[in-house]
Structure 1
Amino acid sequence: MEQLLAKDDLMTDKEVIIDLYRQENRAIVDKDIETLGQILDSTMVLHHMTGYAQPKLEWIDQIQNGELKYYSSDEEQISDIQIAGNHASLIGHNKVKASVWGSPVSTLLLQMKMEFAKINGKWAITKQIASTY
């Protein structure tokens, strides 16, 4: 019986980290908690524009319960891709329509500096720093 290769086995490291960035942006809009659980490392922290450092499980919970509502996320640019061994980073620019912690729905020009680590041969998102552009 022929063994199928995992998606990551067919992609370069650069392609994988870009794909993870895009998967996350789709998952927050779709409230796809399962995907977020898989692509975010257990130690992942999201640093919001307010300065609040939010752990992975709290962020996922707030997406699930509607405290953080993402209506759309339209990619504008991915830049500054850095890969060094088992660590990588990129900067993504997306127009994100959201309501955060009860705020009115608005469209943010969201810059996300995202860090990744290859753990046991698989890339995962380990840190995110949000700002505007």
Structure 2
Amino acid sequence: MKGSCLCGAVTFQLTGDLPSIYQCHCSLCRKVSGSSSNSALIVARSHFQWRSGENQIKSFATPSGFKSEFCCHCGSPVPNLSADGQSYWVPAGLMSEPISTQVSAHVYVDSRANWDTGFLSDDVDKFAQMPPAIEAG
């Protein structure tokens, strides 16, 4: 399965079965996405491959360790390697073709925006923080 940033300068490919998507509602993810949450997959490093544009990626990190990587041309968030080097955080919206997975968890729901209420009535699990069960697929 292929994915890319908005302008197509950064491209990547995922192999194997995809893990479930999680939606993070924390304030940092809201700012990075410009939305109510950030939808992502945690993909094992062995199932991720850059295809082009890796040298077009810029990075921003907060003192707390939160990291955002993005295309230097269009500003789209792009996959980034986890601190332990074992997996990639992949924004679900970057996938270029339909994917056969779905949202299985809402995380950091206690810090959601007060207007972010649409997900509250769905049947998806909700967590105050990131549960250890969300691991690379």
Q: Normalised by the size of structure 2, how large is the TM-score?
A: 0.25
The structure where strand makes up a greater share of residues is 1
Query: RCO greater where, 1 or 2, for CA within 8 Å and sep 6 or more?
Result: 2
The structure where helix makes up a greater share of residues is 1
Q: Normalised by the size of structure 1, how large is the TM-score?
A: 0.25
